[in-house]
Amino acid sequence: MRFTVSAPHDTPKLLVLAVDDEPHGLDQLKHCLEANAYVGRVLPAVDASEALRLLGSDDDLIRARKHRGLPPVDAVFADINMPGLSGMEMSRVFASLNPAPVLVFVTGHAEEAVEAFDLGAVDYVLKPARQERIDKAVSRVVEKIEAASGLRRPSEPERDRDNEVIPVELAGTTKLIPRSSVRWVEAQGDYARLFTTEGSHLVRIPLAQLEERWAKAGFVRIHRSFLVALPLITELRMGQGGYQVVIGNEEKVLPVSRRHTRELKDKLVGSSRLG
């Protein structure tokens, strides 16, 4: 079944730069982008050098955009691993522009997603690019542009923000874990272990970084070693050594450190979960 996205009639079409040194990958990426209703034109580039030349070219549309104070393109969908100037290095140049285009990375290596988000990318897409995944990434690009301009699509309901995915490696296979399935997270050095309804997964992301990224999704720090989905806390109680929380129906008990107790109580009261 083909996944389609309908754009409101008054929505400006996006100008997108697609960069991939693999001809088949570039063709597939360009095809998926052009099939999206929000995309008006796709500029293909076979490497970072050609991409930078395109942005500095005399193209009428790019020149008109710069004259209006817009970035040269609305978004850049770029492969990470390319000969010469890598996608990451190229994107640092794009990110330094003011205003800057929205970044989306396309990669065959999920472990590179952490660095992609550090550069301010709104999404990353694993190869081979699929239409429904490109459509979701384009939707995030549109959301980013709307948020920056203070606009919101009136014809669409508020989006569920719990659809971020975290890549984990399982016996040589990359599995994408949706954030909405994570119940709590435990710090393990520079890594974090995600506990879901189906088990646990170790990812190379520090707990502090997840705390910052997931704060608006309802995750709260209860201890230097634990991050918990606030809506899943069913009980806050005094135990041996201090407060504890109970998570969901599985009666999982986690410690609450003294420095996080006051903030946790305030958030529980604010969400009407504690009398």
Mean of pLDDT over the chain: 80
pLDDT of residue 255: 93
Look at 53-57, 149-153, 174-178, 255-259 and tell me which has the smallest mean pLDDT.
149-153
Q: Looking at the domain that runs over 14-149, which CATH code has it been given? A: 3.40.50.2300
Q: What angle do CA 54, 56, 59 make, to 5 degrees?
A: 65
* Structural contact between residues 201 and 168, judged by C-beta atoms closer than 8 angstroms: yes
pLDDT of residue 126: 83
For residue 178, what are the β-bridge partners?
A: 165
Residue 45 predicted with pLDDT over 60: yes
pTM (two decimals) = 0.55
Question: Does residue 86 or residue 127 have the better pLDDT?
Answer: 127
Q: Domain extents for the chain?
A: 14-149, 165-272
When pLDDT is cut at 50, 70 and 90, the band that residue 113 belongs to is low
Residue 75 DSSP class: E
Q: What is the pLDDT of residues 197-209, one digit of tens each?
A: 788 888 888 898 8
CATH architecture of 165-272: Beta Barrel (2.40)
Residues 6+ apart with CB under 8 A from 203: 166, 167, 168, 191, 192, 193, 194
